[in-house]
Amino acid sequence: MDLYHRQIQRRDSRAGRDCKFCSQFDPEFSKRSPIDRWVEVEDSATSHLSENGHVQHRLFEIARKRALTSSIVPSLVKSA
């Protein structure tokens, strides 16, 4: 396995629950497959049971941070 992918460990998927972070920020959360929605312990990307869920969680974290920083940083005025 290459370094760009997570090491998948066998887990019991019956212990999963929906990620509250993803359900709050993803408008199409209900359309995801159950394994992509579920987390084990906490609502973090690394707790997702599937790699697709992990990646989607990270994308929404990045989008949220970009939205927060763009509202804080004043826009630069074009001078030339």
Kindly report, residue by residue over 7-17, the tens digit of the pLDDT: 666 655 567 79
Asked if 35 and 74 count as a contact pair (C-beta separation under 8 A), the reply is no
Residue 66 parent element (H or E): helix 51-72
Which own/partner contact pairs does 32-41 have at CB distance under 8 Å and 24+ positions apart? 32/56, 38/13, 40/11, 40/15, 40/16
Q: What is the pLDDT of residues 34-45, one digit of tens each?
A: 989 999 888 999
Predicted confidence pLDDT, tens digits, the chain (80 residues): 566 666 666 655 567 799 999 999 999 999 999 989 999 888 999 999 899 999 999 999 999 998 887 766 565 666 66
